[in-house]
Amino acid sequence: MHLSHILAISVAAAVPGLCQLDKLAKAAGLQYFGTAVDNPALNNQGYMKIARDASEFGSITPANGQKWSNTESSQGRFSYGSGDAIANIAKQTGQQLRCHTLVWYNQLPGWVSSVYSRDQMQRIITSHIQNVAGHYKGQCTHWDVVNEAMEDDGKYRQNPMYRAMGIDYITHSFKTAAATDPNARLYYNDFNIERCCNAKINGTLAMLKAVKAAGAPIHGVGMQGHSRVGKSPSKREMKETMALFSELVDEVAFTEVDIRHTKLPTSAADREQQAIDFLEVVGACLETKKCVGITVWDFADQYSWIPGQYPGEGEACLWDKNYNKKPAYTSIASLLQSAASAGLRSPPTTTAVATSVGANGIMTAAALATATAVAK
Ligand code: G3I
């Protein structure tokens, strides 16, 4: 049954200093608010003070350390130093470890790309997953088992695994991961599958149906959530997408969120727009029953992948280069806090959406949240 209400919620004009994102996210009914962390940041004390704060980030993800090129750069020779360095933080702090990623066409060692036979590829994938997921067994709350298998036109990406095995590589990867680490939540993870409904989303839905029918135990779909300020998908578009994925899997999540400016330096108005765009993501998750959490793809501009990949673009994270919180941070905190206060994800579910921010980036009392209730 669907219930709909409209209610207005006064949003506090300021966020109490002690309210951190994961604490607020959990109070609002999500399972975690997390971040990716990459190895070069580990000896930056200022960065690590924030990264290790479990109230700020209840989950951390190795940005690169668990990828194939890092864990098995030569066949059968496994190394876990980079991934373990991040995993050990989670052990020390009690943060969840969201693991990324087992089978991906990128950061794939050359020796895998030159495998052509189906049987050989299957053995290689089996060994890789058994070793890597076996090494991290019991530590990963979630695993991105297969990453970016689809093209923007909705067709299967012609990667080395697909060329050797067809879509069976996806099914096989999930089966192997489930057998290796039965307690991890197993995800399919991709980008450009946020804005309903493009060819890639349709292709992804068809792929999920096909591999599930073939026995792949897929628990979740991760929408990476990389986007550009002012061009991000709307909350409504993302909710529509998540509703479709929710028909096929137990849970959905935003797994790699960053929202980059396409021209630098930024103005105050640009930063406000970025805050609004982030709010759309968080609001979409809050309003989707199966959305369990949000991970940002690093929280600090200093370590963002964007400038390296898109020269001239960047400042995509929640903290600026001086480790000051941006308007996007304070706005997200305000939204989570208002959602928590309203008990929005407790049955009967009522969800609140903040749609605007004040000039200082903090939602003003005048920026009343429009709230819609969706109860199932
Ligand atoms: O490790 C080498 C180092 O030895 C060398 O000196 C240096 C010179 O450029 O490169 C280093 O490798 C870089 C690696 O990150 C580790 O820092 C690669 O050049 C660089 O391309 C690589 O970028 C990573 C990218 O994935 C690769 O596609 C980013 O850090 C990482 O954040 C990014 O993450 C991906 C997700 O896994 C999947 N979704 C998209 C997301 C963004 O691209």
Judge if the beta carbon of residue 298 lies within 6 A of ligand 1: no
Q: Is 49 left (phi over 0), alpha (psi -120 to 50) or beta?
A: alpha
Note the Cα 12 to chain centre separation in Å.
27
- For ligand 1, atom 8, the nearest C-alpha belongs to 308
Strands 185-190 and 140-147: parallel
Joined together, the tokens standing for residue 333 give 């905190």
> Distance between CA 211 and CA 156 in Å, rounded?
13
Residues 87, 62 contacting (CB under 8 angstroms): yes
* Residue 205: closest CA among 160, 166, 243, 157: 243
Residues 227, 233 contacting (CB under 8 angstroms): yes
- 124 found inside a domain: yes
Phi and psi at residue 300, to the nearest 5°: -120, 130
Judge if the beta carbon of residue 305 lies within 6 A of ligand 1: yes
Look at the chain and report how many structural domains it folds into: 1
Give the list of residues 6+ apart from residue 256 with CB closer than 8 angstroms, or none.
36, 189, 191, 222, 224, 225, 226, 295, 296, 297
How many angstroms separate the alpha carbon of residue 303 from the centre of ligand 1? 11
Q: Best mutation site among 99, 305, 313 for ligand 1, i.e. most ligand atoms within 8 A of its Cβ? A: 305
Helices 168-180 and 199-213 meet at what angle, rounded to 10? Answer: 60
Judge if the beta carbon of residue 224 lies within 6 A of ligand 1: yes
Q: How far apart are the first and last CA of the chain?
A: 5
- 86 found inside a domain: yes
* Nearest atom in ligand 1 to 298's CA: 32
Give the list of residues 6+ apart from residue 27 with CB closer than 8 angstroms, or none.
336, 337, 340
- For ligand 1, atom 27, the nearest C-alpha belongs to 107
* Nearest atom in ligand 1 to 106's CA: 28
How many angstroms separate the alpha carbon of residue 63 from the centre of ligand 1? 8
Query: What range does the domain containing 47 cover?
Result: 22-342
Judge if the beta carbon of residue 63 lies within 6 A of ligand 1: yes
Note the Cα 138 to chain centre separation in Å.
20
Catalytic residue numbers, as ranges:
148, 256
- 355 found inside a domain: no
In a structure prediction context, what are the per-residue pLDDT tens digits for the chain, which is 376 residues long?
222 222 223 233 344 455 799 999 999 999 999 999 999 999 999 999 999 999 999 999 999 999 999 999 999 999 999 999 999 999 999 999 999 999 999 999 999 999 889 999 999 999 999 999 999 999 999 999 999 999 999 999 999 999 999 999 999 999 999 999 999 999 999 999 999 999 999 999 999 999 999 999 999 999 999 999 999 999 999 999 999 999 999 999 999 999 999 999 999 999 999 999 999 999 999 999 999 999 999 999 999 999 999 999 999 999 999 999 999 999 999 999 999 999 878 533 323 333 333 333 333 222 323 332 322 2
Q: Which residues pair with 7 in a beta bridge?
A: 371
Strand, coil or helix: what is 39?
helix
CB count within 10 Å of CB 216 equals 24
The pLDDT, as a whole number, for residue 112 is 97
Torsion angle of C-alpha atoms 337, 252, 189, 103, degrees rounded to 10: 120
Residues 121, 163 contacting (CB under 8 angstroms): no
Q: Best mutation site among 64, 147, 188, 191 for ligand 1, i.e. most ligand atoms within 8 A of its Cβ? A: 64
How many angstroms separate the alpha carbon of residue 64 from the centre of ligand 1? 7
- For ligand 1, atom 10, the nearest C-alpha belongs to 308
CATH code for position 202: 3.20.20.80
- For ligand 1, atom 16, the nearest C-alpha belongs to 64
Judge if the beta carbon of residue 310 lies within 6 A of ligand 1: no
- Alpha helices (H) in 3-107, listed in sequence order: 21-27, 45-51, 68-71, 81-93
The pLDDT, as a whole number, for residue 349 is 34
Residues 354, 15 contacting (CB under 8 angstroms): no
Joined together, the tokens standing for residue 348 give 């009967």
CB count within 10 Å of CB 326 equals 21
- For ligand 1, atom 29, the nearest C-alpha belongs to 305
- 261 found inside a domain: yes
Phi and psi at residue 175, to the nearest 5°: -60, -40
CB count within 10 Å of CB 342 equals 18
How many angstroms separate the alpha carbon of residue 319 from the centre of ligand 1? 20
- 7 found inside a domain: no
- 352 found inside a domain: no
How many angstroms separate the alpha carbon of residue 374 from the centre of ligand 1? 40
- 357 found inside a domain: no
How many angstroms separate the alpha carbon of residue 79 from the centre of ligand 1? 17
> DSSP state, 302?
G
H/E stretch holding 252: strand 251-260
- 351 found inside a domain: no
* Nearest atom in ligand 1 to 40's CA: 17
Judge if the beta carbon of residue 158 lies within 6 A of ligand 1: no
How many angstroms separate the alpha carbon of residue 104 from the centre of ligand 1? 13
